Structure 1
């Protein structure tokens, strides 16, 4: 059972607070695609897509989609004033040259040292890795937005990834419906807890070992 709309938007809203004006930001599919909806209308952030667009806006209202405008996942988008188009080689060149300030991705697993697995479950057909490998390796900051557990109820924050890796020690922050973790040289640090969850509940549902910040934030929305 997946997350509801309220939880998905709460995660996206917390991720949006990490973004500052002037940044170039890449968004993955799923929950990350909701992030632009939680920025002020007059923001000066340029969202980047691997299929060749810089300047993505908020999600279009139902019925107002433009068939010619989509993100790298094929989902409908809008564009902001000043947006520009390019081919995918230029879009990937921006990533590989380290021009992307933040990438916000989904994940299948994240280890307690920041290893990322987000592109394949062995035995299942997928269209390919896409830009995940380049983004994980080259973006200045990698933020993962994901459900805390998988469909079987198993923690997606793990001691060691068992799925094929996208990149090693690349993740800087993880946001789930339970809370927010940062990754530092000592491992995972729980910095924020979403109400109504408790630190003990998060421990019970997390395989990975983590410490708790002395200045823990309780997020009410």
Structure 2
């Protein structure tokens, strides 16, 4: 499959960010999810939350303007929005465990048709670091996952059932890959939006689980 097909990582993050609604508190996990804070989604007031205690941050800081004391979950230097707060780690987790996170965006190694996902340990890996993922998966109102559609060796990441240690079961509400926007339905993945340059047949061949096409399938669309 041509490398020119599909979405860039920033485009994947942009599309997910357009799901955020005015007034939401959104947790952004390590990796591609952190790029959501770079997205201009108009006048919607979004409070970005990081487990390390930075609440109300904005885009990644431009080169030369970094504050080394301000980092997101991925260790990137970020900017602060008016009204932002830097709180104790325990207080940050209090926001999560109190059910105040409207959506969490996380990366993953695999997502299953049932909405299970695995993001903390690979096969053969000793140990692993589940971090705050278990708290977020259990307590956030919505779980959005961003990941590459296939592994480096071409194996599917959207699978019938996870064969890696599962982080949480049945919680994923939306999946964004470089191939399109999907919803786990329990017995498959519904393709809602398709990335440029790809066909449904190509996506089906690269998907481990059953692929269903939504009525009114459209190209990946940024904005309202």
TM-score tier, shorter chain, comes to: over 0.9
Q: Given the alignment of the two structures, is residue 10 of structure 1 paired with residue 11 of structure 2, yes or no? A: yes
Structure 1: how far apart are the matches of 2:92 and 2:121?
23
Residue 124 of structure 1 and its aligned partner are, at CA, apart by 3.1
| Offset, 1:184 | 3.2
Larger RCO (CA within 8 A; separation ≥ 6):
2
Question: Which whole-Å CA distance do the structure 2 matches of 1:184 and 1:202 have between them?
Answer: 17
Q: Which runs of 5+ in 1 are unaligned?
A: none
Please tell me the root mean square deviation across aligned C-alpha atoms, in Å.
Answer: 2.1
Contact 1:110 1:116 in 2 (8 A): yes
Distance 1:42 1:127, change over 3 A: farther
Contact 2:66/2:78 (8 A) holds in 1: yes
Q: Does the CA-based 8 Å contact 1:195-1:220 persist in structure 2?
A: no
Alignment of structure 1 residues 1-221 onto 2, 5 Å: 7-40=8-41, 42-124=43-125, 128-219=129-220
- Structure 2 gap segments, 5+ residues each: none
Q: TM-score with structure 1 length normalisation?
A: 0.92
**1:43: Cα distance to partner?**
3.8
Offset at residue 126 of structure 1 (A)? 6.5
1-side partners of 2:154 and 2:29: how far apart? 23
How many residue pairs align between the two structures? 219
| Mapped contact 2:17–2:41 kept (Cα < 8 A) | no
